[in-house]
Structure 1
Amino acid sequence: MLRVVLSWNEASNGASAGTQLRNDLDIHLKSPTGVLQTYTNDDVNNLIGISVDSPDAGDWEVIVTGVNVIDGSQKYYLAASDGAISDMRHPISEVLISLVPVWINLH
């Protein structure tokens, strides 16, 4: 099983806000064959993830998108788990501007 988790620090949005998140990020996982899995529509949690039961061998691309980034940029953290992960080129992002791909190689 491949699990990829996205997390980021979130400033308080105030008790009267319509949504809980100031900066809303989504995570997408692209298989070596091009199949895209997406975890979206969560405007409450700043810890989200995707699981793949039987991941194909090869390079998986993790794409983080900023759906709504009020503060102009948002640093985030990625964690991946699978016994066969051999390469994670960018485990922690720089500043999020739009799409920041990360590749995970499974053997």
Structure 2
Amino acid sequence: MKMKIQFIVLPLITLLFIASSIAYAQNKNSAADNRNAIDRMTKELGLNETQRGKVEGILSAEQKKVEAVFNEERKKLQLIQEETRSNLQAVLTPEQMQKLENKMRQEGSKNNAQKK
């Protein structure tokens, strides 16, 4: 029974970890992405300086809203992860919990290496 729980929960925890990492990465790169988007729009649409300034304002406001959503979702994911970890600690032995945590770190390292 414990093995079945591990095989079900490990992918769930890994998924939550990946989702948190993606949200962080998206927030980290969004300012540069906005600049690139503004440059592309200026070139492709032939924006004048007034339009470019307004587009920058619109995208900046959107970026702040998106970051707020990501931050809120990250908090929710962290709460779920903490609850899951607590529930697992109630079922698994300390040795099993250590193995699970080591496995999660390995999976996280693999995922980070694949992103680069």
Larger Rg: 1 or 2? Answer: 2
Higher helix proportion (structure 1 or 2): 2
Higher strand proportion (structure 1 or 2): 1
For normalisation by structure 1, the TM-score amounts to: 0.28
Higher normalized contact order (CA 8 Å, seq sep 6+, divided by chain length): 2
For normalisation by structure 2, the TM-score amounts to: 0.27
